[in-house]
Amino acid sequence: MEQQERLQILKDIINIDSTNGNEEAVANYLGELLSRHGIDSKKVQYAEKRASLVSEIGDGGSRVLGLSGHMDVVDAGDPSKWTYPPFEATEKDGKLYGRGSTDMKSGLAAMVIAMIELKDEKKELTRKGKTISHCRRRSWRARSRTAYIGRLCG
C-alpha cells in the first residue's frame, strides 16, 4: 500500500465524528475498507449508533495475535475554539490535526493497514490475526468484551 493511501485512511477516520455514542460510522467505514481487501469482519451492535468491529485474517490454528483499539473520541466542545475543524483532517507543516488523530484513530488506522498489508502479501501466517475495534472501553458491555477477549486468549 502506498504511503498516500495509508494517510488517506487515517484522514477518512478522523473526518468521521465518532464522539462517544456515535462509533458505528467508524465501524462501518473500517468494515467496508477491510471487505474491499478480502477481509471479513463482524459488526457487533451495542446500541443505536454504537457498534464494535471484529476482523480476522489467517487460519493459523488456535494461536491468535490480537489488536484492540477504541473508535470513540471525547466531545470536541466549541469548534470555534479549535485552530482547525475537529472533524476535518488538516495537514500543516508535516503534521496532521483533527479530533482523535493521536488517540486513537491513528492506532486504528495502523491496525487496519497492518491487516490489509499482511493479507495482500499472501504469506502463510503462523497464527490468526484479529482486530477488535470497539466503542468506548468503559461503555462496552462486559459480556461482549469478555467473550471476544476470551477467544483471543484461548
DSSP 66-114: EEEEE--B-----GGGSSS-TTS-EEETTEEESTTTTTTHHHHHHHHHH
Q: What is the pLDDT of residues 129-146, one digit of tens each?
A: 877 777 665 544 454 554
Rounded Cα distance, 67 and 52, in Å: 13
C-beta separation of 87 from 99 below 8 A: yes
Q: Which parts of the chain register pLDDT below 50?
A: 139-141, 143, 146, 153-154
Rounded Cα distance, 57 and 119, in Å: 7
pTM, full prediction = 0.85
pLDDT of residue 53: 92
Domains and CATH numbers, the chain: 3-153 (3.40.630.10)
Rounded Cα distance, 68 and 26, in Å: 14
Grid coordinates representing 149 are: 477477549
pLDDT of residue 140: 47
Grid coordinates representing 40 are: 471479513
pLDDT of residue 148: 53
pLDDT of residue 1: 93
Q: Regarding beta strands 41-47 and 95-97, do their DSSP bridges make them parallel or antiparallel, or are they unpaired?
A: unpaired
Cα radius of gyration (the chain): 16
Q: What is the pLDDT of residues 118-128, one digit of tens each?
A: 999 987 777 77
Rounded Cα distance, 25 and 82, in Å: 23
CA nearest to 24, candidates 41, 47, 54, 58: 47
